[in-house]
Amino acid sequence: MPAMGDMPMPGGWSLSMTWVPMCGQKWPRAAASFVGMWLVMMIAMMLPSLAPVLWRYHEAARATSGTGDRRLAPLTALVSVGYFFVWTVAGVAVFALGAATMALALHFPALAHAIPFAAGIAVLIAGVVQFRAWKARYLACCRCTFMNQCAPPARARSAWLHGVRLGVHCCYCCAGLTAVLLINGIMDLYAMAFVTAAITAERLAPAGERVARATGVVVIAMGMTMIARAIAFG
């Protein structure tokens, strides 16, 4: 059943108003609203796995530089700003792609009818990615950052770049799970909880790669179910 305010579409799915301007609203304002919501969501989702990284950065920087907590606190905050800056840029790209896709779906019924099947394929691919060496490589980078005791020099530029680099690795590592969230509904609390738990566990659990693969099994099953439903509806 479509959520309140969503628009029923051909193919048995509903178009979230997140992707289109409200009545009287222009595209820049719609994009700003989406990116603001996206940033709040990403802070809530990523903070459980990011907080230990920030703490280790703070402790390592203090040990290597001898700088006091008063100076290190702003630098640690700057790491998080750089990290979430990357996610903000990703949010802009996500909105542009999503809004363009939804605009095309509104104008071409055949495309709208194919969206559920395409969404199932995308989720299936996201599950397969959890088993790939590409995923393992970026997950290793994220886990290495979590475990590493070293820190860049205690300077503003170094802290910013450290956060940006961490954000880029995280975006690559979480691409598949983020796609699952977007496809299932960016405002779906169950999807948010699942993705948050999966990301946190694969980063912090002792056997992170096994957690990633177990998550992949769940996501593959989800994708196959979505494909079956799309075929049955069609």
Instruction: Return the pLDDT at 151.
Output: 55
In this prediction, residues 29-47 reach a mean pLDDT of: 94
Instruction: Return the pLDDT at 16.
Output: 85
pTM (two decimals): 0.88
pLDDT band (50, 70, 90) for residue 4: very low
2 pLDDT above the threshold of 50: no
Short-list 43, 230, 205, CA closest to 124: 230
The crossing angle, in degrees rounded to 10, of helices 109-129 and 208-233 is 160
225 pLDDT above the threshold of 50: yes
Please report, for residues 53, 169, 174, the alpha-carbon distance to residue 198 in angstroms, rounded to integers and kept in the order given. Answer: 17, 16, 10
**Which has more pLDDT, 152 or 228?**
228
195 neighbors 135 (Cβ within 8 angstroms)? no
**Which has more pLDDT, 200 or 18?**
200
Q: What is the pLDDT of residues 67-76, one digit of tens each?
A: 666 778 888 8
What is the spatial distance between Cα 52 and Cα 181, in angstroms, rounded to a whole number? 24
The structural domains of the chain, with segments of one domain joined by +, span 25-233
Stretch among 18-27, 41-50, 118-127, 176-185 having the lowest mean pLDDT: 18-27
In this prediction, residues 89-94 reach a mean pLDDT of: 97
218 neighbors 134 (Cβ within 8 angstroms)? no
Q: Is 188 left (phi over 0), alpha (psi -120 to 50) or beta?
A: beta
